[in-house]
Amino acid sequence: MSRKAVPTVCPYCGVGCGIWLQVENGRLIGVTPRSSHEISRGMLCVKGWTSHEFVMSAERLTKPLIKRNGKFEEISWDEALKIVAGKLKEYKETYGPEAIGILSSAKCTNEENYLVMKFARAVLGTNNIDHCARLCHASTVVGLMKTFGSGAATNSVNELENSDCILVTGSNTTEEHPIIAHYIIKAKDKGAKLIVVDPRFIPLAQIADFYLRQKPGTDVAWLNGFMNVILEEGLEDKRFIQERTEGFEELERTVRKYTPEYVEKITGIPKESLIAAAKTFALAERAAIVYAMGITQHTTGVDNVISIANLAMLTGNIGRESTGVFPLRGQSNVQGACDMGALPDFYSGYQRVEDPDVRAKFERAWGVNLPPTPGLTVLEMMDKALEGKLKAIYIIGENPMLSDPDISHTEKALKNLEFLVVQDIFLTETAQLADIVLPATSFAEKDGTITNTDRLVQRIRKAIEPIGESKPDWQILCELAKEMGAQGFDYTSPAEIMEEIASLTPIYGGIDYERLEKGGLRWPCPSKEHPGTPYLHKEKFTRGKGKFIGVEFKEPAELPNEEYPFTLTTGRIGFHYHTGTMTRRTTLLDREVPTGYVEINPADAKKLNIRDGEVVVVSSPRGEIKVKAFVTERVTEGVIFIPFHFSECPANCLTNLALDPLAKIPEFKACAAKVEKVSIKKGG
Amino acid sequence: MKAVFIPKENFPKVLERWLSSYEILGPVERYGEIVLQPLTKESLKDVRLGENRASISIKPLFLPQTECMFVYKSEPLKVEIDSSKPVPTLVLGVRACDLKAIELLDKVLLEEPADFYYLEKRKNTFLISVDCEEPLDVCFCALVGVNPYPERGFTINLSKLEGGYLAEPGDEKGAELFEQVKEFTIEATPEHFSPREERRRALLEKFKGERLKELEKKILSRDERYWEELSKRCIQCGGCAFVCPTCYCFYVIDKRMSPEDWLRERGWDSCLFEAYQRMTSGENPRKTLASRLVQRFNHKCVYFKEQYGEYMCVGCGRCIEVCPGRIDIREILEE
């Protein structure tokens, strides 16, 4: 019998926990935690503990597929690559490169994301490349760039345990980033104050010193309220403001009117709680802010993030250990996919495509001319597809048919394409619409690096051979590029790709596989001698001075009304992950929560005569779904919550396509909805 | 059966000899931690017996996290069980806590009708244990009555002494293994045993704290509020049960592998999961997490004792290490 244990990184959220994959006779039989791992230190959540199972699923794609007469047939790799290369070439020549778009994957490695962006720009000649960060942290990238000059988490996760006060908002940390919740719990045990601001009574609220429940979509108001109180009490960090920042006067003017009374009216947060929590935050020696999609997925996503940055700067909680701003990343490599430039406006390392010097550098390195203007974002691609201007999309490891807002819109768009290629490990809802499906390998079957939520670049390692004829995404990309006649895709290993990344990407300049053998490295890591950067903005901000930007509260795009009296907010649960492609193929996880539900307050349920467990109809102006009612005080009256993982009751049939004007992130967290009994619906 | 002394310089030769007829799993350091790995001639020198216990017990060797039980075709029904015997394997460096845990697992899984899969692996795996040298912060075996040095249940036990190991055989297999390496060992004498007793006494001294007694009383006296508070820390990762060397619960599932072929698989489960005790009707007698925590500790300290006469905890402290909610079983078992 052959046994081995392979050290790698969990494929789920952005925490980047260390796991050993247990291999027996070439098959994965289990997962154990890496006790010496710098972040997870021997702990895992239930998804991590069971992350080997989906890899061995019988539903894995094992051969390329082509759709003929509405049915998929298996074809050879040679054929598949010829067809894809031929089509892409044809569209490029006939309609121009702008008629093609690529969606990259936050599940793929840095090396793969780099190759996807190189393929889009150097081979196809388009900047139409984006990925799911658009739907989760686009507002973070924009908001923190504007204020700090860098769109990533400012500090390392481990530092949280020594914070004196932690403000958690729009993040159900216990369920979505459990090992970060561990550090919050540890900090609390060491005496830190915990403030939770969330429309739902999340698990962390149980142990919080302050739990403030705001109405969905009113974050700018309460954040301005916090700052109003802090200024009123004279608790701002005057020295930090003077030495390290600019724009303070503008902020002061803006937040003046956000008195606790005014904020209470907008948000529903009692003014006494707001004052007490704000003071506690300001008085802490080291305070940190942890947030996730409850902040970013709004039409005011960028405003929300800017407000968080304002609060951190106002209290001098940037550039020191155990302080800072933590946007928690949802996917194992969503940070890395951004870092690698799987974005319409950036090359790797956040180097702008419009910058002629940057472009010249990449043109020299790749030996081609590159397109000078930013391309389309995820949702803009869907719009252009619907208009018929985008002819072909190549989707790698993403499932917009469940993850995009207003799915019927996405479906129409994808069906309107002339050519859709999907590369994935399962035949997802999106892959079912494809003309060609390419079977990729999972994390367990390839080497590479991924970058976690606190900028830690880590190695993932191949534990087993590819399942069936599946191939690592980087190999598929290289073969496709060569099939299209491109130069510069002759890599023999991911390590070789990393060498190229390091040579063109200053923040990754010092990263190589040999160094990573000794442990992860946090970027910026500009040279081989550089030890990496545990926390950012130490002496000065990446942009020089931190910039305060006063922002006014704006209502969500769609408010409850007579016909749709509820505010629907969507999100995730601890046992499932994103569109469920992996967790719903994991016995324990799928058994634990086998389908979706709508959380509704007991008072609302009573009014509507709805019992716990009863199937109800939830609808919005965009669609309706049937889903089980979960009567619970986790949500307050007038608010309902639906997890979005489940294709049989897809919350995103209901969500609003309204976008943040800058980040182009949709408003997943607030739209109008109604709940009805099934019987009434039938009768009516 | 007599004990022998293996001089330090001969130890690799002993292992090498055994390696010619057995697979050996031994503790080696990889990426900063001690893990059990198959040894090769080249890696024998990397064996680390002096370190602390590994963070994962030997339970997965007998009860893997996921295991194929059999494959079958449904129409007509045809069942195939993999009948190939596991390769005879020596496991090196087993600690007293893990030996005790296997003793407890045997009570459950080898009780008639014995668990076939477990039994097959047990029969072909031989445990070479070792005295602990230093307890970890989380170790509390001595406080639940498990000595930190093996006293039974091993094939061979190794006690480190000046200049080598005192090796005691625990069963026929141990004597047989000694026979194979006769030329590398010398007969053990009382001069070997007395320093070992000295070391063992000193080791016991290192465990601070009160002996944890009458655990069932403590658990039963905890009120609802206590469990309610505890549940606020539990994130339901299942880690405590997965990593516990005495937890044995598993689920069973049939998976369709092709239109005709099915696979019956079993995998680790935990009583802390809501669906673990959910009825088909959807009813759940232990709907709250607090009630499931009660169940977990009652099983360890009350029910198992009633059934098998012992507590179901060996004090290895692994559940403390893996818990993101920082739940410490010692605090639950203390006054």
Q: How far apart are CA A333 and CA B164, in angstroms?
A: 49
- Mutate one of B36, B90, B236 to test the A interface: name it (highest A CB count within 10 A): B236
Neighbours of A342 (CB within 10 A): 33
B67 is a domain residue: no
Residues making up chain B, counted from first to last: 335
Asked if the Cβ–Cβ distance from B55 to A203 is below 8 Å, we say no
Q: Which of B205, B233, B254 is the last residue of a domain?
A: B205
DSSP string covering B92-125, please?
Answer: EEE-HHHHHHHHHHHHHHSSSSP-HHHHHHHHTE
Residue ranges in chain A whose pLDDT is less than 70 = 680-684
- What chain B residue is nearest to A181 in terms of C-alpha separation? B324
Asked if the Cβ–Cβ distance from B60 to A206 is below 8 Å, we say no
Alpha carbons within 13 A on the beta-carbon side of A210: 25
B321 vs A contacts (CB less than 8 Å):
35, 42-43
Q: Is the dihedral of CA A8, A11, A16, A17 positive or negative?
A: negative
Q: Which of B178, B205, B232 is the last residue of a domain?
A: B205
The CATH class, in words, for A3-52 is mainly beta
- Asked if residue B133 and residue B183 are part of one domain, the reply reads yes
The CATH class, in words, for A65-130+349-512 is alpha beta
Asked if the Cβ–Cβ distance from A36 to B257 is below 8 Å, we say no
B234 is a domain residue: yes
A282 token code pair:
């300001």
Asked if the Cβ–Cβ distance from A182 to B325 is below 8 Å, we say yes
Q: How far apart are CA A466 and CA A153, in angstroms?
A: 34
Q: Which backbone phi and psi does B107 adopt, to 5 degrees?
A: -55, -40
Cβ-contact A260, A229 below 8 angstroms: yes
Taking every pair of C-alpha atoms in chain B, what is the biggest distance, in angstroms? 68
Gap from B207 CA to chain A (nearest CA, Å): 23
Burial class (CB in 10 A: 0-12, 13-18, 19+), B179: exposed
- Asked if residue B287 and residue B184 are part of one domain, the reply reads no
B37 vs A contacts (CB less than 8 Å):
3-5
A8, A202, A359, A569, B317 from A216: Cα distances, Å: 38, 14, 42, 7, 43
A613 vs B contacts (CB less than 8 Å):
282
- Mutate one of B34, B51, B53, B65 to test the A interface: name it (highest A CB count within 10 A): B65
B188 is a domain residue: yes
- Asked if residue B146 and residue B294 are part of one domain, the reply reads no
- Asked if residue B252 and residue B108 are part of one domain, the reply reads no
Which of A32, A185, A587 lies closest to B253 in CB terms? A587
Asked if the Cβ–Cβ distance from B321 to A186 is below 8 Å, we say no
Which of B31, B55, B235 lies closest to A45 in CB terms? B235
A347 token code pair:
């090359």
Number of residue pairs across A and B with CB atoms under 8 Å?
118
Architecture label for domain A566-683: Beta Barrel (2.40)
| Nearest of B323, B66, B273 to residue A586 by alpha carbon | B66
Instruction: Give the fold, CATH level 3, of A154-327.
Output: Dimethylsulfoxide Reductase; domain 2 (3.40.228)
Q: Which backbone phi and psi does A79 adopt, to 5 degrees?
A: -60, -50
Omega before B76 within 30 of 0, i.e. cis = yes
User: What is the DSSP code (8-state) at residue B194?
Assistant: H
Q: Which residues between 259 and 288 in chain B have a beta carbon less than 8 angstroms from any beta carbon of chain A? A: 263, 265, 267, 269, 273-275, 282
- Asked if residue B219 and residue B201 are part of one domain, the reply reads no
Gap from A158 CA to chain B (nearest CA, Å): 13
Residue-range definition of the domain harbouring residue B163: 4-56+81-205
Asked if the Cβ–Cβ distance from A29 to B65 is below 8 Å, we say yes
DSSP string covering A117-168, please?
Answer: HHIIIIII----EE-THHHHTHHHHHHHHHHTS--S-SS-GGGGGG-SEEEE
Q: Domain count for chain B, please give it.
A: 2
- Asked if residue B161 and residue B20 are part of one domain, the reply reads yes
B321 is a domain residue: yes
Which of A5, A46, A186 lies closest to B237 in CB terms? A46
- Asked if residue B126 and residue B97 are part of one domain, the reply reads yes
Asked if the Cβ–Cβ distance from A45 to B233 is below 8 Å, we say no
HEC sequence for A261-307: HHHHHHHCCCHHHHHHHHHHHHHCCCEEEEECHHHHCCCCHHHHHHH
Angle at B203 between CA B201 and CA B206, to 5 degrees: 115
Q: How far apart are CA A205 and CA A222, in angstroms?
A: 17
Q: How far apart are CA B105 and CA B90, in angstroms?
A: 19
Question: In this complex, is the C-beta atom of B77 within 8 Å of any C-beta atom belonging to chain A?
Answer: no
pLDDT (0 to 100) of residue B242: 98
Asked if the Cβ–Cβ distance from A587 to B251 is below 8 Å, we say yes
Question: What is the H or E stretch that residue B225 is in?
Answer: helix B224-231
A71, A168, A219 from A556: Cα distances, Å: 42, 21, 10
B75 is a domain residue: no
Could you tell me the pTM of the whole model?
A: 0.96
- Asked if residue B236 and residue B98 are part of one domain, the reply reads no
B74 is a domain residue: no
User: What is the DSSP code (8-state) at residue A608?
Assistant: T
B152 is a domain residue: yes
- What chain A residue is nearest to B67 in terms of C-alpha separation? A29
Burial class (CB in 10 A: 0-12, 13-18, 19+), B251: middle
- Asked if residue B123 and residue B86 are part of one domain, the reply reads yes
- Mutate one of A592, A611, A615 to test the B interface: name it (highest B CB count within 10 A): A592
Gap from A194 CA to chain B (nearest CA, Å): 14
pLDDT (0 to 100) of residue A684: 44
User: What is the DSSP code (8-state) at residue A97?
Assistant: G
A49 vs B contacts (CB less than 8 Å):
237-239, 242
Gap from A45 CA to chain B (nearest CA, Å): 5
Asked if the Cβ–Cβ distance from A4 to B38 is below 8 Å, we say yes
- Asked if residue B221 and residue B199 are part of one domain, the reply reads no
Q: How far apart are CA A202 and CA A329, in angstroms?
A: 18
ipTM for the complex shown: 0.96
- Asked if residue B246 and residue B306 are part of one domain, the reply reads yes
Residues A304-355: pLDDT tens digits? 999 999 999 999 999 999 999 999 999 999 999 999 999 999 999 999 999 9
Question: In this complex, is the C-beta atom of B46 within 8 Å of any C-beta atom belonging to chain A?
Answer: no
3-state helix, strand, coil in chain B (%, to 5): 40, 20, 40
Q: Which of B205, B224, B250 is the last residue of a domain?
A: B205
A118, A475, A478 from A115: Cα distances, Å: 5, 10, 8
Neighbours of B83 (CB within 10 A): 6
Gap from B298 CA to chain A (nearest CA, Å): 23
B50 is a domain residue: yes
Asked if the Cβ–Cβ distance from A588 to B321 is below 8 Å, we say no
Each of the 335 residues of chain B gets a pLDDT tens digit; together they read 799 999 999 999 999 999 999 999 999 999 999 999 999 999 998 999 988 899 999 999 999 999 999 999 988 899 999 888 888 999 999 999 999 999 999 999 999 999 999 999 999 999 999 999 999 999 999 999 999 999 999 999 999 999 999 999 999 999 999 999 999 999 999 999 999 999 999 999 999 888 888 899 999 999 999 999 999 999 999 999 999 999 999 999 999 999 999 999 999 999 999 999 999 888 999 999 999 999 999 999 999 999 999 999 999 999 999 999 999 999 999 86
Three-state DSSP at A412 gives helix
Q: Where in chain A is the domain with CATH 2.40.40.20?
A: 566-683
- Asked if residue B200 and residue B220 are part of one domain, the reply reads no
HEC sequence for A557-584: CCCCCCCCCEEEEEECCCCCCCCCCCHH
